[in-house]
Structure 1
Amino acid sequence: MPSRPTHSAMFAAAFVRTPDGWSGAEVDLTSAEIADDLGDAVQDALGLQGDELALLCVEVEDEWFALVRYDGDAEPRAFVSDVHSAASDPLGELFSELAGVLVPDKEADLGVRPAGDFELLSDLGVSAEELLELSMEEGVLPADTLSVIAEKLSFADELDRLH
């Protein structure tokens, strides 16, 4: 599979929780070809040692966002705000795979369809219900939803610094 084209309207950043709070860095996903490449990019961007809690936040084309939680040696957990919109993007297909969902028929008009691990942030202060509600709020851009999530998890300053 060839490298991903650079998205002019794609934003990707990862955040690691430390004893002093959250620290973030932009993440380059343009060469990601398989789901494991996403984790490697996060590890490289943050210089992870392996046992930290890290979140990858991605927003693409004002259409959809994805969150991936890396927690030490545990399998990554992922959430995609709209698996149907993400299906039209090769990078979105990687996030859908990581979230454990089949890529829907690209021609079907299914509306907004969040998918993946809805409990991804529950222990951090964003319930499954709240994550679902934020994802499906009509007229709200994915970047705005990520800002709300970052505020609730206390890394809004880091997100603002990078975005």
Structure 2
Amino acid sequence: MYFAALLARTEDGWEASDTELDNVERLTDLADLAREAATDDTVVILIEQEDAWFGVVRIDGEDDPRIFVSNAALAARSSYGAMLTDELLGRDDSDEDDLDLLDLDGTEDGEPEREDEDPESAEAAETPVARGPLGDPRLLEDVGVGERELLSLDGDALGEIAEALGCSDLLEAVR
């Protein structure tokens, strides 16, 4: 299950809103959604999937979005996480054609699963990105979350980010 919140910086601080991602298929859709909600230039979108990974997308005016993903390998296995990791890795829609040949378990259609295979090595072989963070860990430095802090977040990462931004009550209200 996903949770996504949009934080827009205003003259009076931050405003938070629950963000519905059902119609978001590409990063450009997410950026457009953020720009529509913006009351000022800076919008931060926080996305998490059941404490497995979290992502931060920052949009400043018409600049390209800046992205950070806490665990690229886990994120790449989910639809919204894959959207972020694909953008960071420079993949386009033509790369998805190769993935259509694979079942959800990572085997080609009709290919039997190998029971003698080590699950850890199979997971690593299926995952086209390295484990760990990916993207710009400095994207929130100017608003109170430094690189070291962002890289060390665990557990309720979105709550800790919101606390550093001074808007944890707003984030909890939309959860």
Return the TM-score normalized by structure 2: 0.74
| Distance across 2 between alignment mates of 1:42 and 1:74 | 12
Runs of 5+ consecutive residues of structure 2 not aligned to the other structure = 92-105, 107-121
Query: Which residue of structure 2 lines up, in the alignment, with residue 52 of structure 1?
Result: 41
Q: Compare CA radii of gyration and give the structure with the larger one.
A: 2
> How many residue pairs align between the two structures?
143
Report the alpha carbon displacement of residue 156 of structure 1 after superposing the two structures with TM: 0.7
| Distance across 2 between alignment mates of 1:126 and 1:82 | 18
RMSD: 2.2
Query: Which residue of structure 2 lines up, in the alignment, with residue 85 of structure 1?
Result: 74
1:37 aligns with 2:29: yes
Report the alpha carbon displacement of residue 43 of structure 1 after superposing the two structures with TM: 3.1
Runs of 5+ consecutive residues of structure 1 not aligned to the other structure = 1-8, 135-139
1:11 aligns with 2:3: yes
1:158 aligns with 2:173: no
**What percentage of residue pairs aligned between the two structures are identical?**
37
Moved over 3 A (4+): 109-112
2:72·2:130 contact (CA, 8 Å) conserved in 1? no
Query: Which residue of structure 2 lines up, in the alignment, with residue 101 of structure 1?
Result: 89
| Distance across 1 between alignment mates of 2:157 and 2:130 | 18
Q: Which of these residues, 5, 16, 24, is aligned with residue 24 of structure 1?
A: 16
1:16·1:54 contact (CA, 8 Å) conserved in 2? yes
Which digits, 9 at most, give the CA deviation of each residue in 1:28-58, with x for residues without a partner? Answer: 11122211011122234x2x26x51110001
